[in-house]
Amino acid sequence: MCRPRRGRSSRCCSTRRCDRGFSRPRRTSSRSTVGRAPPAKHWRCSKQFDLCALCILCVLDEGSLTVSVIIVSFNARADLERCLESLDAAPPAAPHEILVVDNGSTDGSLDLARRRPDVRLIEIGSNLGFARASNVGIRASRGANLLLLNSDTVVPDGAIDRLLAALDQDRDVAVVGPRLVDAGGRAELSFGRMIGPLNELRQKRLARGRGVEARTSRRQYPDWVSGACLLVRRADAEAVGLLDERYFMYTEDVDFCAAIRARGRRVLFTPDVEVVHLRGRSAASAPAATRDAYRRSRLAFYEKHHPGWAPLLKLYVRLRRGR
């Protein structure tokens, strides 16, 4: 790993250029423990954020981490606090780190993350969307495996270690997703077949039906699992170029799993691990914008994977907006 030169400036490992505005923070007396990033490392950069994200890679301590937990947050302080508390109450036994990538929150989420010594905070300053913010976190992380985790989840004791065990059991598996349940313990259909005109209608019907509990009670290899809690090997994520950033919000997980499977790798759904998914405040706070983001992401997916159907979907979206 490239390290910055001593002195007033630091050298970026990507651009090989010095940034005079990038300064090393003062260290505190507290020492890091295995799997935890040093608490005093909050980095500031005078350049654009893309350079700052790259510079993070230069200055992190080297270490062998099994998993990096990456949480993208946007104006969901209560959800984020609940999620971090669940991780703090029962942290993974495997060496790990926790990164919170904040998409420009204004609700106190930043202060919450700063106060937690076990969290490495990456401040973006504006809302880049889920896929792009996740990629920022991935590039700044150090783990051999990556856990993409929504801020509106609660992770029970041992869940992450069991996901890692499931991944280790089969070298052909690149992605693992758990059984997602709501606050009442009811399962949600968090996996499925590749999105297409017929499969999408079938998926919606199944999600509303009574067979969800039965379908989510058996181990299987679907086409995709939900990005609300998705464990992936770093090597596989990097091989497909991380998440496609054309998706601002929604559908990026389906596209990501499709890219993984196109390389001959497998996606696993395991009911042996449960994670609570509370459907948080980020989307609920702006329902109209959320619906628009969903439709735009669906259209982008069809343009990429089913271009023949894209004009019909575009017409449908226009008609829906005209209501």
pLDDT, tens only, 192-220: 999 877 666 666 666 566 678 889 999 99
Residue 317's CB is within 10 A of a number of other CB atoms, namely 15
pLDDT value at residue 276: 98
pLDDT value at residue 290: 74
Both tokens of 288, joined, read: 């109209």
- Buried b / exposed e across 43-75, counting CB within 10 Å, b at 16+? bebebeeebbbbbbbbbbeeeebbbbbbbbbbb
Statement: residue 38 has pLDDT above 60: no
Cβ 285 vs Cβ 269: under 8 Å: no
d(CA 133, CA 252): 12
d(CA 274, CA 263): 28
Which stretch of DSSP H or E encloses residue 149? strand 145-150
pLDDT value at residue 7: 37
Say if strands 10-11 and 67-73 run parallel, antiparallel, or are unpaired.
Answer: unpaired
d(CA 16, CA 193): 44
User: Which residues, other chains included, contact 23 with Cβ-Cβ below 8 Å and sequence gap of 6+?
Assistant: 8, 10, 44
Question: Between 299 and 137, where is the model more confident?
Answer: 137
d(CA 178, CA 191): 9
